[in-house]
Amino acid sequence: MTKGKKLLLVEDDVSLRDMYVTRFSVEDFELEVATDGEAGLQKATEWQPDVMLLDLRIPKLSGFEVLRKLKQQKETKDIPVIVLTALSGDADRKQAMDLGAAGFLTKSETVPKEVLAQVLKVLK
């Protein structure tokens, strides 16, 4: 099911990034990583992932800005983006969903298995 599916992870926290890279590699995802918003936007445009995990609090461009720009570009507007963030407020969730996020997960309330389940759900 996931073999060869392309996942772009935009996350600046090294330990979290490494954990998710390991988790998704085991599931046979093809993985690319970006550590800031500008690189995330560029990789999404060039690499065309099947799904994207996006942190909101990242350097250069915020996740909100990345999401806004992705949904405005015809090359990237159809890429499902799951927000994976430390922010847990309803306003942040609403803003992300209004900008076109396919899902919103709070890091402190989510284990990797649940993140994987959300990714698989979005890919169906």
Domain ranges of the chain: 6-123
Task: Please give the share of the chain, as a percent, with pLDDT higher than 70.
Answer: 98
β 81-85/103-106 pair status: parallel
State the chain's mean pLDDT as an integer. Answer: 94
User: For residue range 77-120, what is the model confidence (pLDDT) as tens digits?
Assistant: 999 999 999 988 899 999 999 999 999 999 989 988 999 999 99
Look at residue 1 and tell me whether its pLDDT is greater than 60. Answer: no
Q: Which string of b and e fits 41-79 if b means at least 16 CB within 10 Å?
A: bebbeeeebbbbbbbbebeebbbbbbbebbeeeeebeeb
Cα–Cα distance for residue pair 73/33, rounded to 1 Å: 20
State which fold the 6-123 domain adopts: Rossmann fold (3.40.50)
Tokens of 92: 């942040």
pLDDT confidence bin for 124, thresholds 50/70/90: confident
DSSP state of 52: E
| Residue 53 DSSP SS3 | strand
